[in-house]
Amino acid sequence: MPVGPPLGTGFGGYRTASVPCGPGTVLFMYTDGLVERRGEDIDVSVQRLASLAMPPGGRLEDLLDQVLDRFGGDAEDDIAVLASRIREGPPVVRPTPAE
């Protein structure tokens, strides 16, 4: 996925990207406070995060607990995380309001 400028900075340049996801796929988003550590290369932190595994059907709460246990203790910046899973079953299509 392409990297863009931080949200809320007023700088543009974001590109839209689509990633096919099936039922059970987990989307995990986080702020830089989760992976930025004094004295540690950010790529190393991101790799440590990517090494965490959640068993199929595992609870999102358990994933979030594991992430915060491993990364939250020595954080010097605020941390925000969001985890979401695509539900099983047929897609739900909701109409969007007219602009």
Residue 9 belongs to some domain of the structure: no
**pLDDT at residue 99 in the model:** 64
Q: Model pTM?
A: 0.70
Residue 75 belongs to some domain of the structure: yes
What are the angstrom distances between the C-alpha of 34 and each of 26, 46, 87? Answer: 18, 9, 26
Residue 21 belongs to some domain of the structure: no
Q: Angle at Cα 25 formed by Cα 3 and Cα 1, nearest 5°?
A: 15
- pLDDT averages per 10-residue partition of the chain, 99 residues: 71 78 87 84 88 82 88 78 85 75
Residue 4 belongs to some domain of the structure: no
- Provide the number of structural domains found in the chain: 1
Domain that holds residue 50: 26-85
**pLDDT at residue 2 in the model:** 64
Residue 8 belongs to some domain of the structure: no
DSSP at 97: P
Residue 92 belongs to some domain of the structure: no
**pLDDT at residue 24 in the model:** 85
Residue 44 belongs to some domain of the structure: yes
What are the angstrom distances between the C-alpha of 39 and each of 59, 73, 76, 86? Answer: 32, 15, 12, 36
